């Protein structure tokens, strides 16, 4: 009888952890800031980033689709991973020029999510927003 109780307690514990695991694995959003300069419309280089996985010197390449002229598709490739997003340049505000959203990536950027506002001071481009890892937000 005692072993049956132990078995029930162990089974209940495993069940509780399996139910809680998805919410525990999804990290809460963290502040993100990146500064980059661009050599062209297709290639930018990170000058500074608050996120260590995207260090200074990282290139961000852009692709465009003529059928959607207000959208750009940036790709960030880091050692052991990459992520591709979409930047929507159709923003009504005078300071925020675009909003970029990245979904899950590959390698070390698997389940990486990023949402940033894009601003520009005439020389440097700034990305400010939040990032998180996990399946949801």
Distance CA(29)–CA(132), nearest Å, equals 5
Give the pair of three-digit tokens for residue 99: 């909003």
> CA distances (Å), 66 to each of 45, 63, 133, in order?
24, 10, 32
For residue 46, give both structure tokens. Answer: 């990170």
Q: What digits encode the pLDDT tens for the residues 49-82?
A: 999 999 999 999 999 999 999 999 999 999 999 9
pLDDT at residue number 136: 61
Q: What is the pLDDT of residues 88-123, one digit of tens each?
A: 999 988 899 999 999 989 999 999 999 999 999 999
CB-side exposure of 58: number of CA atoms within 13 Å? 24
Strand partners, 30: 131
Question: pLDDT tens for residues 8-48?
Answer: 333 333 333 333 334 444 579 999 999 999 999 999 999 99
pLDDT on residue 63: 97
Closest CA to 137 of 24, 22, 19, 28: 28
d(CA 97, CA 118): 6
């Amino acid at each position: 009888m005692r072993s049956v109780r132990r078995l029930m307690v162990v089974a209940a514990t495993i069940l509780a952890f399996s139910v809680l695991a998805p919410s525990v694995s999804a990290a809460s959003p963290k502040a993100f800031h990146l500064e980059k300069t661009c050599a062209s419309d297709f290639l930018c280089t990170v000058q500074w980033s608050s996120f260590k996985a995207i260090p200074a010197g990282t290139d961000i390449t852009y692709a465009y689709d003529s059928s959607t002229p207000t959208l750009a598709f940036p790709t960030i490739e880091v050692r052991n991973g990459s992520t591709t997003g979409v930047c929507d340049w159709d923003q009504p505000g005078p300071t925020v020029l675009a909003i970029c959203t990245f979904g899950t990536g590959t390698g070390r950027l698997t389940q990486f999510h990023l949402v940033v506002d894009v601003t520009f001071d005439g020389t440097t481009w700034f990305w400010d927003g939040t990032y998180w890892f996990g399946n949801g937000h």
